[in-house]
Amino acid sequence: MTEKRKKGVVIRFGSRTMVVADLHTKKRYICNMPGRFKLQGIRPIVGDIIEFIETTESMGRVENILPRRNELLRPRIANIDQIILVTCLKEPTVPLYIVDRFLVLAEHSGLPTVIVVNKTDLLTSRDPLKKFYHIYGEYYNILEVSAKEGTNIDLLKEIFKGKVSAMAGMSGVGKSSLLNAINPGLSLKTSEISTRLDRGKHTTTYSELLEFDFGGYVADTPGFASLELPYDMEPQELQNFFRDISAHKGMCAFSNCVHVEEPGCYIKELVETGDIPMSRYESYLKMYNELSERKKGRKGGRR
């Protein structure tokens, strides 16, 4: 027997099979999973790295699922390298509160995040961009682009290259337009595979990884679509997901300060001096209150 194990990444699921791309050759295989995995409750997800054995020219059998480095929920994807948060300062003017909420979720996922400001062609002056850099530039990498005019699309390509990314951002900010600008025809290629795999059966709701011609993958569905704060997030830990607040950990008079109404709060001082932007602090308070209310509601419910 010359069966040799190959390593691949799970690209998408069919009704009973999955499409796996060989890590080295990028060749695609339709893989089956032995029943014993199901019996053990082992279920691979998109992004999983698996070991498989080639059974025919285009088919394979899953032998092993490697441990996940991380796992993103909604959409459920394993082994993501980075989050690309797309936003706009015009058409739509994405509220800063929404940007902050996406950032909290990105921080909670523990993944590196790049902020991409799209539709810069619509701006008549640099003022809104300057304001944006002032708020986020110290703690995040920001790339200003225009899918329409092709501005900095080469730089965006470099960011995606060779990595597994999830895009996030409000509807209409141009996520699909940007993907098509860096890799024309990206979405077309996938529908081809979908029809071949599903053969008219019920379409799955799993997301899928799209492969760039220049190397790398991106999830086809936006991350954090519901914008819901994680179920297990406690009000007092929210500050850990604001880089500009957690950077000053331990500076308040009380070590357990949540920066709301405690005396000797260093964070509130920084807000007053403008070192922490007011919009960021307001977002923090709003989410803090939401988490507190949620907690109260849960306690009440248990009585």
Q: Which residues are annotated as a binding site for GTP?
A: 118-121, 169-177
Closest-CA residue to 76 (of 232, 207, 230, 202): 207
Annotated binding site for Zn(2+): 252, 257, 259, 265
**Smaller CB separation from Zn ion, 12 or 259:** 259
Q: Indicate whether 11 belongs to the interface with Zn ion (CB under 5 A).
A: no
Least Å distance between CB 210 and ligand GTP? 13
Among ligand GTP, Zn ion, none, what binds residue 172 when CB lies within 5 to 8 Å by partner kind? Answer: ligand GTP
List of residues contacting ligand GTP (CB under 6 A)? 118-119, 121-122, 146-148, 169, 171-177, 222
**Smaller CB separation from ligand GTP, 177 or 292:** 177
Least Å distance between CB 166 and ligand GTP? 13
**Smaller CB separation from ligand GTP, 124 or 273:** 124
Give the CA radius of gyration of the chain. 22
Q: Indicate whether 259 belongs to the interface with Zn ion (CB under 5 A).
A: yes
Q: Indicate whether 257 belongs to the interface with Zn ion (CB under 5 A).
A: yes
Least Å distance between CB 271 and Zn ion? 10
Total residues contacting Zn ion by CB under 5 A comes to 5
> Is residue 33 a contact partner of residue 18, using CB atoms and an 8 Å limit?
yes
Closest-CA residue to 230 (of 80, 114, 109): 109
Among ligand GTP, Zn ion, none, what binds residue 267 when CB lies within 5 to 8 Å by partner kind? Answer: Zn ion
User: Measured at CB, which residue is nearest to ligand GTP?
Assistant: 174
One character per residue 266-285, x = contact with Zn ion (rule: CB under 5 A): -x------------------
Among ligand GTP, Zn ion, none, what binds residue 122 when CB lies within 5 to 8 Å by partner kind? Answer: ligand GTP
Q: Indicate whether 252 belongs to the interface with Zn ion (CB under 5 A).
A: yes
Residues that bind Zn ion in the complex, under the rule CB under 5 A: 252, 257, 259, 265, 267
